[in-house]
Amino acid sequence: MSELPSARGEIAGLAGYHSPQVEVEVRLNTNESPVPPPAGFLGALADAVPTLGLNRYPDRAATGLRSALAHRYSIDPAQVFCGNGSNEVLQSVLLAYGGAGRTAAVFEPTYALHSQIARATGTRVVAGRRGDDFLLSADVVRSLVESERPDVVFLCSPNNPTGTIDTPDLIPVVLELLGEYGGLLVVDEAYGQFAATSAVDLIAEDRALVVSRTFSKTWALAGLRLGYLMGPSWCLSELDKVVLPYHLDAIKQAAGVLALGYAPEMEERVAALVAERERVTAALQELPVEVWPSSANFVLFRPGDRAASEVWQGLLERSILVRDCSSWDGLAGCLRVTIGTEEEDDRFLVALREVLREGTPEDGI
């Protein structure tokens, strides 16, 4: 029998990034919007599809979508790059600025796909550590950057899965460090609309800063897979060289443009989710769990004296799915819950109380 081909060593050693997909009544594990897009948007998209000429290739440059996003953020269309979800956007960055002989820096615990995509593109990964409160200090970043001189530095703010945000003065410090040798700073703001601060206003042609965002969360379009990157035109023009031709289909482009027309509805939903996040956080603080403040649409918590896997299973038995993060670097014993509707969150809180009480002796017994 002939010998079979094998994948590159760094690929063979990787584990896929997966979130459990099981049938439950309350799904709070993947940070999606708990409600669908507005009915008006869905109707407008249905009306647009017959006009898109699907027998022809789409606009390779996604001109209309990039222009609409540029208008929203008051930047130039050349400073916008779009992809199939922010993960493809980040992959394009690493294909252009990472690769063999290059290094990417992350700060754990953080979004696992930063390291996953880096390794898949042959990029070496180095990691710094966040503090016990999951905040990132400038000293930690400075130490790693000065010692490793990474070609790409990832900051995730709000950070997934902890929900913490970086202080506004951190980005200028990192940019100054990277400017000494020509590194690129990538700020992942997949949850940026839920936070009070953003790096978008710092984008400029003379700064090696790019900011990624997505339509999946605040625009309620996770099923569409649409993300975008904003940054200097000289940087983004390199991404067009590595992305596949016609990678962004015509329906996706039209949907993105139409969604931007529903900004008031989306912003109202964001405000409602932020308020609900604070309600859920306050309720968790009344339970025997450790909970961290969040600036995203999820909350990280650690059951006090119960194994995370037991609590996760107990919730699943009640048809509620949350994310078990206990095996992730720096997150021993932790679970993450997405903010859902008020009804979904109430079901989660009731179920969590029941699970935490299981096996606990009654007073006086």
Tens of pLDDT, residue by residue over 31-58, are: 999 999 998 999 999 999 999 999 999 9
- Whether residue 178 is predicted with pLDDT greater than 90 in this model: the reply is yes
User: What CATH number has the domain spanning 39-261?
Assistant: 3.40.640.10
What is the pLDDT at residue 4? 83
Residue 278 predicted with pLDDT over 70: yes
Phi, psi of 331 (to 5 degrees): -125, 35
Q: Enumerate the CATH 3.40.640.10 domain ranges in the chain, comma separated.
A: 39-261
CATH topology of domain 9-36+264-357: Aspartate Aminotransferase, domain 1 (3.90.1150)
Start and end residues for every CATH 3.90.1150.10 domain found in the chain: 9-36+264-357
Return the structure tokens found at 124: 């070496």
Backbone angles phi, psi at 310, to 5 degrees: -70, -40
Q: Which residue has the tokens 């209309």?
A: 64
229 or 20: which leads in pLDDT: 229
C-alpha distances out from residue 329 to 112, 129, 146, 176, Å: 9, 10, 23, 29
